[in-house]
């Protein structure tokens, strides 16, 4: 082995089977390129301003906000798995806990990074903390996401110091031992914060009286979208986690978790998805028959513009909502790995569609009677920035998988190891 490979091997756990250094670098290379492209695109936006994007005064929110909402929904697996394991004592989900933390960390830190590029004056980000408007959902989102990012970092540190070389530092090892006792507290606080910010992200649109497409009535100050977003987030979190673990297994060629973990995650996802679809159906009925007409808008105002026809509504409810719920819950289909993963992918697509509809469609639809229906296509800088976030997630997870005990809880259980 070369000198570099030897040094690299020292950082990998002794009994872990990992690809050679060369192969790993080859895997990382395209992602690093994508990350650098994303950083360059973000740099252009910082330097020249947001005119580098195709957002405008009608599409004040564009692709970035849509994808931010989506990855925060996907990252909900972090808090929800922690809640299930530590608060509801579902310890058979422990093998995926570390993955959930890393996924959550990259999703949230990536979303915050993109938000910093998205705002016109990132250096003024502290204004929200100094002059908070407690009536605004966005203030709530800012506070919650900042606190939750702290929680995720603190949850990641005990995983980080389990690295073979880092654990040789006595203070790190002792801290890790102490940190383990604290994780249930963090899981509880994380669940509390996440409940609120997943909801507030929905509340962002539900309170917009000026956008009858998005506006919903609800309970007290919280519109129905507050609760619907929480439901859809906890439904999609386990699904996304399943996809990440399945991808890791496919790429590394190893079986990392028992199939029962997949089935459990799928079942939880399916039940929550079914509840969500039911709630959304009721909400849509109330919205189209009561809330919206009261504001002087009817369904023809929403579904007359291509491509935003009622097909979107149908797609989000049935093929991307009810169908995966059934696939997850019915034992005959849930037994098949392929169908389970298909259901997970459909769930993720459904939530993506829902977030798209709430952000982009809300803005595309005209409000003033003489408004034209306008189109928006993101610029390459917007796409590249988000590609950078995706690459960042893949790189962090790859590094975590290689150098940290991500699936530690499977130690002692039989593992099928393919000869590489």
Partner 1 sequence: MFPWTDGFHWTPTHIIFLSLFGAALLAILSTAVWGLWNTLNAFRKHLAAATCWRQNFGELPATERRCRHELAGRVPSRLCDHAFDCRTCPNYEKLAALPANAPASLAGVSYSDDLLYHRGHTWVRSDWDGTFAVGLDPFAQHLVGSPDAVQLPEICEEVESEGVAWTMVKNGHKIRVRAPLAGTVISTGGPDRDFYLKILPHGQPNLRHLLKGPEVAGWLAAEVVRLQMQMSNGKTTLADGGTLMPDLMDNEPGADWDAVLESTFIDR
Partner 2 sequence: MSARYGMVIDLDRCTGCGACMIACASENNVPPAAPRATWRTGITPMLVHTLSNGKEGVDRREAFIPIACMQCEHETPCVSVCPQQAVELDKSTGIVMQMPQRCLGCRYCMTACPYHARYFNWWDPQWPPGMEHSLNPGVSVRMRGVVEKCNMCHARYHDALQKAAAAGKKKIDLADYVPACVEACPTGAIAFGNLADPNDPVTMAAKSPDAFRLLESIGTEPKIHYKTTQAWIRALADRNSGRPTEAQHV
Beta carbon nearer to partner 1, 164 or 263: 164
Residues 352-391 that bind partner 2 (CB under 8 A): 362-363, 366-372, 374
Token pair for 109: 């830190």
- Smallest gap from residue 137 Cβ to partner 2 (A): 7
Helices 170-206 & 63-74 angle (0-180, nearest 10):
130
Of 76, 142, 118, residue with least CA distance to 355: 76
- Smallest gap from residue 349 Cβ to partner 2 (A): 24
Binding partner of residue 10 among partner 1, partner 2, none, CB cut-off 5 to 8 Å per kind: partner 1
Instruction: Verify binding: residue 136, partner 2, rule CB under 8 A.
Output: yes
Residues 170-209 that bind partner 1 (CB under 8 A): 170-171, 173-179, 182, 185-186, 189, 192-193
Distance CA 256, CA 233 (A): 25
Beta carbon nearer to partner 2, 352 or 358: 358
Instruction: Verify binding: residue 304, partner 2, rule CB under 8 A.
Output: yes
With CB under 8 A as the contact rule, which of the stretches 155-163, 262-270, 289-297, 394-402 interacts with partner 2? 289-297
Q: Among 28, 115, 154, 208, which residue sits at the site for partner 1 (rule: CB under 8 A)?
A: 154
Alpha carbon distances (Å) from 141 to 55, 115, 134, 329: 22, 12, 11, 33
Distance CA 57, CA 137 (A): 21
Alpha carbon distances (Å) from 336 to 17, 259, 277, 339, 350: 27, 10, 23, 5, 21
With CB under 8 A as the contact rule, which of the stretches 130-138, 261-269, 318-326, 396-404 interacts with partner 2? 130-138
Helix (H) or strand (E) holding 218: strand 218-219
Distance CA 38, CA 41 (A): 5
Binding partner of residue 93 among partner 2, partner 1, none, CB cut-off 5 to 8 Å per kind: none
Binding partner of residue 296 among partner 1, partner 2, none, CB cut-off 5 to 8 Å per kind: partner 2
Phi then psi for 74, rounded to 5 degrees? Answer: -65, -40
With CB under 8 A as the contact rule, which of the stretches 84-92, 133-141, 257-265, 294-302 interacts with partner 1? 133-141
Token pair for 58: 């009608």
Q: Among 127, 259, 285, 314, which residue sits at the site for partner 2 (rule: CB under 8 A)?
A: 127
Strand, helix or coil for residue 23: helix
Of 414, 407, 420, 404, residue with least CA distance to 162: 404
Helices 224-252 & 259-286 angle (0-180, nearest 10):
150
Distance CA 317, CA 276 (A): 9
- Smallest gap from residue 108 Cβ to partner 2 (A): 18
Instruction: Verify binding: residue 69, partner 2, rule CB under 8 A.
Output: no
Task: Measure the CA dihedral 332/252/113/223, to 10°.
Answer: 10
# residues near partner 2 by CB under 8 A: 49
Query: Contact letters (x/-) for partner 1, 9-48, by CB under 8 A?
Result: xx---xx---------------------------------
Alpha carbon distances (Å) from 384 to 53, 352, 399: 11, 19, 22
With CB under 8 A as the contact rule, which of the stretches 120-128, 147-155, 231-239, 378-386 interacts with partner 2? 120-128
Binding partner of residue 193 among partner 2, partner 1, none, CB cut-off 5 to 8 Å per kind: partner 1
Q: Which residue has the tokens 């058979």?
A: 92
With CB under 8 A as the contact rule, which of the stretches 26-34, 66-74, 124-132, 254-262 interacts with partner 1? 124-132
Instruction: Verify binding: residue 343, partner 2, rule CB under 8 A.
Output: no
Token pair for 338: 């392929």
Q: Which residue has the tokens 């929403």?
A: 302
Q: Where along the sequence are the contacts to partner 1 (CB under 8 A)? A: 9-10, 14-15, 129-132, 134-135, 139-140, 143, 147, 150-151, 154, 164, 167-168, 170-171, 173-179, 182, 185-186, 189, 192-193
């Amino acid at each position: 082995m070369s000198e570099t490979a030897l040094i690299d091997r020292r950082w990998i756990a002794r009994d872990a089977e990992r690809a050679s250094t060369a192969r790993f670098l080859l895997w990382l290379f395209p992602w690093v390129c994508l990350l650098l492209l994303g950083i360059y695109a973000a740099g252009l936006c910082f330097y020249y301003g947001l005119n580098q994007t195709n957002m405008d005064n009608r599409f004040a929110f564009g692709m970035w906000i849509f994808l931010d909402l989506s990855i925060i929904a996907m990252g909900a697996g972090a808090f929800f798995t922690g809640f299930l394991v530590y608060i509801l004592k579902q310890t058979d989900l422990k093998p995926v806990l570390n993955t959930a933390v890393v996924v959550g960390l990259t999703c949230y830190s990536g979303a915050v990074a993109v938000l910093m590029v998205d705002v016109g004056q990132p250096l003024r980000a502290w204004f929200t903390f100094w002059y908070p408007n407690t009536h605004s959902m966005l203030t709530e989102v800012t506070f919650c996401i900042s606190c939750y990012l702290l929680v995720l970092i603190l949850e990641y540190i005990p995983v980080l110091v389990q690295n073979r070389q880092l654990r040789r530092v006595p203070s790190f090892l002792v801290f890790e031992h102490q940190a383990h006792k604290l994780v249930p507290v963090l899981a509880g606080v994380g669940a509390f914060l996440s409940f609120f910010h997943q909801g507030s992200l929905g509340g962002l649109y539900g309170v917009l009286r000026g956008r009858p497409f998005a506006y919903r009535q609800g309970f007290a100050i919280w519109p129905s979208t507050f609760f619907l977003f929480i439901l859809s987030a906890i439904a999609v979190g386990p699904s996304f986690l399943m996809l990440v673990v399945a991808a890791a297994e496919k790429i590394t060629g190893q079986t990392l978790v028992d199939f029962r973990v997949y089935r459990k995650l799928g079942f939880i996802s399916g039940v929550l998805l079914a509840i969500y679809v039911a709630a959304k159906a009721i909400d849509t009925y109330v919205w189209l028959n009561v809330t919206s007409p009261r504001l002087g808008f009817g369904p023809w105002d929403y579904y007359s513009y291509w491509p935003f026809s009622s097909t979107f509504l149908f797609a989000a409810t049935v093929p991307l909502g009810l169908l995966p719920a059934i696939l997850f819950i019915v034992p005959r289909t849930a037994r098949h790995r392929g169908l389970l993963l298909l259901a997970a992918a459909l769930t993720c697509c459904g939530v993506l569609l829902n977030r798209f509809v709430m952000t982009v469609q809300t803005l595309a639809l005209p409000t003033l009677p003489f408004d034209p229906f306008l189109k928006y296509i993101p610029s390459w800088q917007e796409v590249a920035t988000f590609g950078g976030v995706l690459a960042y997630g893949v790189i962090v997870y790859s590094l975590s998988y290689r150098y940290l005990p991500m699936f530690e809880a499977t130690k002692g259980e039989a593992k099928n190891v393919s000869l590489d």
